[in-house]
Amino acid sequence: MDLMKGKIALVTGGSRDIGREVSLKLAKVGAKVCVNYFGNEELATETIGLIEAAGGEALAVYGDMTKAADVKQLVDKCREKFGEQIHVLVNVAGGLMGRKPLADLDEEFWDAVINVNLKSAYLVTREVVPYMPAGSAIVNFASQAARDGGGGGALAYATAKGGVLTLTRGLAKELGPKGIRVNCVSPGMISTAFHDTFTKPEIRTNVAAATPLRREGKAAEVADLVVYLAGDQSSFINGESVEINGGTYFA
């Protein structure tokens, strides 16, 4: 399929897990993909290799999306490689960073979690929008935690993701008249390294058992939703947050 042939996509946090699947699926439908990474160059190189092996075009660019200078460098390199315009932006970069109850929630940790999940989306969007023509799309990443407050020790994360929901709605109203749509996906329990690191196996088992579909979600399933929201087939969807959690929470 060439649903996005001729389009340029930028994916922050695009080298692993959900970000990798988003990058791969955007390339599969014809987009040239600029893959941002921060933590692991080997994973980024592997992601580019997978895209190229499937006949796609991609570029990996290192950068801390909480730093305006790094964001600018990312966008500049993407445009140098693929052309002046950027048609799709997917703000995947983010993370829990750790679980801390309020009593242990120091200011430095709070700021770091807010920055990586919320400030990053603002900085990247601000830098990319001037290069987006009418018909472009932005997809942000919130979380089920934004709706239900998150699990134990996820106060800062849930708060940041709640901010992403509001950022999405505000941007949808501001950018809609320019022909730029802004939507959001809010995953529940998805089988990724995120939960391998921060969620105990017994909790994952219990959540899966309590989910109407009786399983965790897959990164590829989230990526399919992102591609839909980024493409012309969703051209009248704007300012929406789509829950993808197997039925554990209804907005």
DSSP-derived secondary structure for 14-51: -SSHHHHHHHHHHHHTT-EEEEEESS-HHHHHHHHHHH
CB 198 within 8 A of CB 98: yes
Are 216 and 205 a contacting pair, CB within 8 Å?
no
Q: CA separation (Å) from 163 to 35, 126, 136, 184?
A: 24, 16, 22, 12
Catalytic annotation, residues: 157
Length of the chain counted residue by residue? 251
Rounded Cα gap, residues 25 and 144, in angstroms: 23
Separation of alpha carbons 124 and 141, rounded Å: 13
